[in-house]
Structure 1
Amino acid sequence: MGKASISIFSPEQQAGNVSSKVVAALERLSEAFRVLLWNEAKQHGLSPIQVQLLTFLLHYPEEKRTVTFLATYFNMTKATISDAIKSLEGKQLLVRKATANDSRSHTLHLVKAGKALAKKVEQFALPIQETVTQLSTANQDSLLESLLKLIQQLNHNYVITPQYMCLNCHFYTQKNGGHYCNLVKSPLRSGDLRVDCPEFRFPEEPVEADGE
């Protein structure tokens, strides 16, 4: 007979299984995010995804502010993202603008009221950040590296779409037992690793040579 499976959420079985305890701890953290996000959303008559979209549109470049990119980024369907965008349009928080080379394609732009609200609602995660900053620098670095490795494995297992982080990047490599970025030609400390890098390139994506 095969070995009995471990029930992740059984405290009795968790006791002797570290991976189950890690998963349970991550579930508690996700619950904290959900509570903070829901509370912030309710205060402003928004849904949680609308809060996340406002935050994204406040900080990311125009070429990423499309329904297609947002659906991939948030691991949701285009229909779900489109519905949320329509609601934000109805609240007069954003507008769509046709792209220069394709009138059927649109980018999303926050209006003044949208930007003001986005700056308010993006504060929802501050309690978690304040807690993280209470850890030592070494522990923060180690935690970041472990989380990025976990996300990378979830990408490889097709649980979530590939994230734009150092460990997935064309420019990233391991060198002398540590992290190294071939773009800046420099080793990286664990704390230097990025969750979302503006210079990110997928490994299979062509990179233009300097001067082209």
Structure 2
Amino acid sequence: MTKESTFNPEHQADNTASKVVAALERLSEAFRVLLWHEAKQHGLSPIQVQILTFLLHYPEKLKTVTHLASHFNMTKATISDAIKTLEAKDLLKRKADVYDNRSHTLLLTKAGKVIAKKVEKFAHPMQGSVNAIPPEKQAVLLEQLMDLIHDLNHQLIITPQRMCFNCQFYEQKGKTQHYCHLIRTPLRAGDLRLDCPEFESKEEE
């Protein structure tokens, strides 16, 4: 028997899960619109904006084609093409690995940092909407979204994220309590991290 479509309004009326999925799809559209609008203003593509923003904030050890491809769920070829364009625009440069000339770290140029600080503001409207939600509800929403992301990781729909639920230091105690063994303290829902600098994969245990 064929399942009802998530996007059928009549089906949605009596199916909360379908309404949640449809709402998430609307939010993804909003994100794409904001990203495209910002990218066009600077003659960039959406993924180029995302790469510049990533390189502005993340540690040098993660500034590689391999990690960018994993982070954005894209092929290395797609990321490499975007990087070549950014290089041609003098927005980033490559730093060869001392021990492996085939490996490079990607660094923003001075001009690249200026542009990155401008384009990263594309998410401000969405941030404003989230800020309007009471803090306690933000924490609950964060926890629920991370549960969804974690499940999608297990389904191999998106690559595993560097978040608490995938980290070897994380432990869920009972149904609701979160605990970090690195800092040896319980975590509130609002303390959970979607991308943690101290993340270590459970596979590396």
Q: Is the structural similarity TM-score above 0.5?
A: yes
Tell me, yes or no, if structure 1 residue 179 matches structure 2 residue 178. Answer: yes
CA RMSD, Structure 1 to Structure 2 (Å): 0.8
Give ranges in structure 1 of 5+ residues lacking alignment.
207-212
Q: AA paired with 1:199?
A: E
Cα distance in 1 between the residues matched to 2:140 and 2:5: 28
Query: How many angstroms apart in 2 are the aligned matches of 1:174 and 1:46?
Result: 42
1:22 to 10, 14, 20: 20
1:210 paired residue number: none
Are 1:164 and 2:162 an aligned pair? yes
> C-alpha distance in 2, partners of 1:25/1:99?
44
Give the corresponding residue for 2:193. 194
Counterpart residue number, 1:85:
83
Task: Select between 11-20 and 42-51 the one with higher mean Cα deviation.
Answer: 11-20
Aligned to 1:144: 142
CA offsets 1:159-201 (integer angstroms, 9 cap, x no match): 0000000011100001254000000000000000001000001
The aligned runs of 1:1-212 (5 Å cut-off) are 2=1, 4-176=2-174, 177-206=176-205
Shift of residue 75 of structure 1? Answer: 0.5
Counterparts of 1:50 and 1:13 in 2: how far apart (Å)? 38
Q: Deviations over 1:44-81 (max 9, x none)?
A: 00000000000000011111111111111110000000
State the alpha-carbon separation in 2 of the partners of residues 182 and 57 from structure 1: 29
Q: Kindly state the Cα deviation for residue 98 of structure 1 after the two structures are TM-superposed.
A: 0.4
For structure 2, the 5+ residue unaligned runs are none
**SS of corresponding position for 1:76:** coil
Report the Cα distance in structure 2 between the residues aligned to 1:157 and 1:192, rounded to whole angstroms. Answer: 25
- Give the C-alpha shift of residue 100 in structure 1: 1.3
Higher helix residue share: 2
Counterpart secondary structure, 2:203:
coil
Q: Aligned to 2:32, what secondary structure does the other structure show?
A: helix
Query: Which moves more between the two structures, 171-180 or 41-50?
Result: 171-180
- CA distance, structure 1, for counterparts of residue 143 and residue 89 of structure 2: 39
Q: What residue identity is the alignment partner of 2:118? A: K
CA distance in 2, matches of 1:100, 1:173: 38
Q: Which amino acid in structure 1 is aligned with residue 185 of structure 2?
A: S
What are the superposed Cα offsets for residues 98-153 of structure 1, whole Å, 9 maximum, x if unpaired? Answer: 01111111110001000010000000000000100101111100000000000000
- Mapped to 1, the partners of 2:180 and 2:43 lie a distance apart of 43
Q: What secondary structure does 1:102 align onto?
A: coil
Amino acid aligned to 1:204? E
